[in-house]
Structure 1
Amino acid sequence: MNLEGLVKFHSPRSLHPGTLFTRASPDSLSTADVMAAAGMAQRRASLGYAAFAAKMNLSKRAGAQAVSLLMAAAQKEATRYPVLCKLPARECEAVLKIIVIYAFLDFARSAATEMPCVACKGTGQQKGKLCKKCAGKKVVRAACNDCKGRGVAVNRLKSHLQGVPVYHHCKRCGGRGFERIASTVVYRAIAQVSDAISLDTWNKSLKHLSGYLITSLEKEVSWAEKQLQLITR
């Protein structure tokens, strides 16, 4: 059983919502079996399980738990960044908190993620008219503008030469289907709590800490899935 199986369990569509069948075994897992396995996986891989649960909206508390655990990891990694070590304790914690929150938000993103429209500042209107970017909805999706969230785009040149549609990984989003949070957005948030970090310092140093935390979340989720598979095999 993998983590995606838990999503199906939380949103059952079969005629037997209390039973989950896996490919690995002809046997079924009862509700008690699934809950017990999930609990064990959560204990073995707390951060990865919490991050996955939050991303898939399986728990209302998972997001706060994932941010808290990621903050602990960030504090350990922060000792490798001189610019953070020089900051007063409270200021350093505030900067780290912002980096951690944005790293989690970036990890939890999908093509369906909605965010306030920047063009109209979430009002839905511009100069008394409906905002053209969000069509008055006040929010916009994070889906890539080039591939529309599919992760693949048409190669116009090759399609023209071969006479049939030729697809390739979308270069704009790297095949993810959505665009990551711009690093400048994170820096602007940091600038609100500290004036000791310049944009140059952010780009050359702290920006890498943000990337490290996002990668750590992805690795932790993989570890949580491995633990769940070991428990339910």
Structure 2
Amino acid sequence: FSAFLGKMGISMNDRVRATELLADYALSRCDRVAALRKLPAEIKPVVMRIMASYAFEDYARSAASKKQCPCCYGEKFIESIVFTNKVQYPDGKPPVWAKCTKGVYPSYWEEWKKVREVVKVACPECGGKGEVSTACKDCRGRGVAIHREESVKRGMPVIRDCQRCGGRGYERLPSTEAFNAICEVTNQITRASWEKTVKKFYDALVTRFDIEEAWAERQLKKVTR
């Protein structure tokens, strides 16, 4: 039940507990994967916790979820280069008499230059919010989209599962994020070994949450009959 309650945002404690339980589960089975079996004893539990944490984030995602903006990294602002026209007075500012003397203008002392400046502006990707929606950009979280070719052939709208998100309605958490996090604590898992064997183990951890959720639903149905 911890995974389900944590996913729904009902309890933060259940979220933490679900991650810890999955980390223990991963630790008990990771030796089946050669790349994980070779990890030092002190590093292995850390790697399992990282994988469990990212697996839960992937499992808990939905079309309503938010993620850190990939453009400003949650800072809400980005640095932008702008050019502004600024006045300078290389020979000093015009004297007072220049304003009231016929045929003499203060602009004679002015020199305009384009100045390059770095300023902070609201991030265009997130609109200054620091986060963006994980909803699929093609179907906008609906999970279905119009099949344009079939719609033209039949002369009526034809609906099919969104080809971009596979009908989920949202984009999954890239497994490379888990790999990059692991690389910060150890360099013993190469990208080749990740793609070949470790990623399958990671995907199995995500699936484990789905299995546990299905079990929780069955138990709830029994209780609420």
Q: TM-score range by the shorter chain?
A: 0.7 to 0.9
RMSD between aligned residues: 1.2
TM-score (normalizing by structure 1): 0.76
What whole-Å deviation, never above 9, does each CA across 1:71-100 have from its counterpart, x for those lacking one?
121112202112111111121111111111
Q: Does 1:133 align with 2:111?
A: no
Separation (CA, whole Å) in 2 of partners of 1:123 and 1:159:
43
Q: Which residue of 1 aligns with 2:214?
A: 222
Separation (CA, whole Å) in 2 of partners of 1:165 and 1:225:
35
Q: Does 1:87 align with 2:24?
A: no
Q: Which amino acid aligns with 1:56?
A: M
Q: Which residue of 2 aligns with 1:123?
A: 75
3-state SS, counterpart of residue 61 of structure 1:
helix
Give 1:162 deviation, angstroms.
Answer: 2.2
TM-score (normalizing by structure 2): 0.79
Runs (5+) with no aligned partner, structure 1: 1-48
Q: Which amino acid aligns with 1:182?
A: P
- 8 Å CA contact 2:64, 2:134 repeated in 1: yes
3-state SS, counterpart of residue 119 of structure 1:
coil
Q: Which residue of 2 aligns with 1:99?
A: 51
Structure showing greater Rg:
2
Q: Which amino acid aligns with 2:186?
A: S
Q: Which residue of 1 aligns with 2:149?
A: 157
Q: Does 1:196 align with 2:188?
A: yes
Separation (CA, whole Å) in 2 of partners of 1:208 and 1:152:
28
Give 1:142 deviation, angstroms.
Answer: 0.6
Give 1:155 deviation, angstroms.
Answer: 1.2
Please give the residue correspondences for 1:45-60 in structure 2 after superposition, counting only pairs within 5 Å: 49-60=1-12
Q: Which amino acid aligns with 2:53?
A: I
Give 1:228 deviation, angstroms.
Answer: 2.0
Separation (CA, whole Å) in 2 of partners of 1:161 and 1:210:
42
Q: Which residue of 2 aligns with 1:112?
A: 64
3-state SS, counterpart of residue 115 of structure 1:
strand
Q: Which residue of 1 aligns with 2:16?
A: 64
Identity of aligned residues (%): 41
Q: Which residue of 2 aligns with 1:206?
A: 198
Q: Does 1:231 align with 2:223?
A: yes
Separation (CA, whole Å) in 2 of partners of 1:67 and 1:230:
26
Q: Which amino acid aligns with 1:200?
A: A
Q: Which residue of 2 aligns with 1:9?
A: none
Q: Which has the higher helix share?
A: 1
What whole-Å deviation, never above 9, does each CA across 1:35-66 have from its counterpart, x for those lacking one?
xxxxxxxxxxxxxx111101111222110110
Separation (CA, whole Å) in 2 of partners of 1:164 and 1:120:
42
What whole-Å deviation, never above 9, does each CA across 1:117-172 have from its counterpart, x for those lacking one?
01112122222332221111110011011111000011111122222221110111
3-state SS, counterpart of residue 145 of structure 1:
coil
Q: Which residue of 2 aligns with 1:146?
A: 138
Q: Which amino acid aligns with 1:106?
A: D
Q: Which residue of 2 aligns with 1:186?
A: 178
What whole-Å deviation, never above 9, does each CA across 1:167-192 have from its counterpart, x for those lacking one?
11011111000011111111111110
What number of residue pairs does the alignment pair up? 185
Runs (5+) with no aligned partner, structure 2: 81-119
Separation (CA, whole Å) in 1 of partners of 2:76 and 2:172:
23
Q: Which residue of 2 aligns with 1:10?
A: none
Greater shift, 84-93 or 128-137, is seen at 128-137
Separation (CA, whole Å) in 1 of partners of 2:182 and 2:211:
26
Separation (CA, whole Å) in 2 of partners of 1:160 and 1:130:
41
Q: Which amino acid aligns with 1:219?
A: I
Please give the residue correspondences for 1:22-41 in structure 2 after superposition, counting only pairs within 5 Å: none
